[in-house]
Amino acid sequence: MYQTIFQPLEWGGLTLKNRIIFAPTTLGLSPEQEEQLLGRIAAGGCAMVIVGDVPVGRHGPHSLYHRKGMAYYRRLCAAIHAGGALACAQLHQSDTDLLWLLGQAPGVLLGRIKPEELRSRLNRQAGPYITGLPARKVTRITTSFGPAAKLAREAGFDAIQVHGDRMCGSFSSALLNHRQDLYGGSPEKRSRFAVEAVAAVRRALPDIPIDFKLAVRQENPHYGNAGVLLEELEVFVPRLEAAGVTSFHVTLANHGSLTDTIPPRNHPDFGGQGCFLPFCDRVRQYTKRPLCGVGGLSDPDFIEAQLASGRIDCAAMSRQLIADPDWSQKVRQGQVSEIHRCLRCNRACLGGLQQHQGVHCIYEKENQG
């Protein structure tokens, strides 16, 4: 009944054993908890786990350049591989102005700036920050994706995803990027950061699959502030493909409300199954490379139909596989009625992250039992 879901897929030189992928997710968990969760999700039968937020730089607790960071990623990859899935590193560069952020610390500590207000301020500050970066520093950042990809490969990752949001997304967006040099202005120039980052990975690792998280923003109604306008896809997609991208992971751009990029069931525009798949339809006009769809996916019948029609080639889930890591096994074994369906309530996942408790699920105790 679900033949397409479990049909292998050639994906940038690798073979995915099926079409189900764990989407990159900021988990906010301890290293031990993250290792346990990602290993559990891999053992549940998905084809690949994308590990989110792997920094390309030398700073931060999980830098690939540090012994502890490398050990951390090796453990994650080992746990994912032990579960029978491939491991993909989502390389990213933050667009947070750290000096500016330090200046906000007194207001946060004194309670004058609430967490949601701080996030809103951070989003607004991304534009001035990336607009003011010296060009030589921008080039150093894009070049750094290459060495980071090599280190990720040494850690055990099978593939690389370039995060098309964060700094990539800010450079892509005319709303945030007001530069007047080679990195700003026309869509061709605004794509330069992303193209250079991809090209750096391709030079460092000529044969590795390079997935690109393509962050799309739209108007009428307005959603997303970073990323690529739908009308600009005809420029960005071919240029990224020429630089070395072998597949696209298509979703809504960030730098807006978290409930837009992680929409609950009652969202006015993104409340349904496959809420971001219309963006895939637009991307499909410009590429024949595999497309991964995401956005409220949980129903096996719906996912099978989208895959069988060729609308998408893979289905990525985060909240659903956190709600039930055994989703793939249960579908394969004809136990669909036993799936713990994600309610898209955002109570323990997004809510847990916002409360600094890490991503969890209302089903968690039952899953552990």
301: CB partners within 8 A, 6+ apart:
none
Q: Could you confirm whether 166 is annotated as catalytic?
A: yes
Q: Is the pTM of this model over 0.85?
A: yes
Radius of gyration of the chain (CA): 19
Q: Are 44 and 80 in contact (CB under 8 A)?
A: no
Instruction: Give the per-residue pLDDT at 88.
Output: 98
Q: Is 46 left (phi over 0), alpha (psi -120 to 50) or beta?
A: beta
The letter for the amino acid at 321 is L
Catalytically annotated residue among 19, 75, 140, 166: 166
Question: Of all helices (H) and strands (E), which one includes residue 235?
Answer: helix 233-243
Kindly list the structural domains of the chain, giving each domain's residue range(s) and its CATH number in brackets, ordered by start: 9-368 (3.20.20.70)
Distance separating alpha carbons of residues 364 and 352, to the nearest angstrom: 12
Question: Of all helices (H) and strands (E), which one includes residue 9?
Answer: strand 9-11
Instruction: Give the per-residue pLDDT at 295.
Output: 96
For 54, the token pair is 């792997």
Q: How far apart are the first and last CA of the chain?
A: 29
Distance separating alpha carbons of residues 113 and 37, to the nearest angstrom: 32
Closest among 112, 115, 256, 100 to 173, alpha carbons compared: 256
Distance separating alpha carbons of residues 35 and 16, to the nearest angstrom: 21
Q: Going residue by residue through the chain (369 aa), what tens digit of pLDDT does each one get?
A: 899 999 999 999 999 999 999 999 999 999 999 999 999 999 999 999 999 999 999 987 799 999 999 999 999 999 999 999 999 999 999 998 777 667 777 776 767 777 777 677 777 888 999 999 999 999 999 999 999 999 999 999 999 999 999 999 999 999 999 999 999 999 999 999 999 999 999 999 999 999 999 999 999 999 999 999 999 999 999 999 999 999 999 999 988 888 999 999 999 999 999 999 999 999 999 999 999 999 999 999 999 999 999 999 999 999 999 999 999 999 999 999 999 999 999 999 989 888 888 999 998 855 554
Instruction: Give the per-residue pLDDT at 369.
Output: 45
Q: Are 45 and 84 in contact (CB under 8 A)?
A: yes
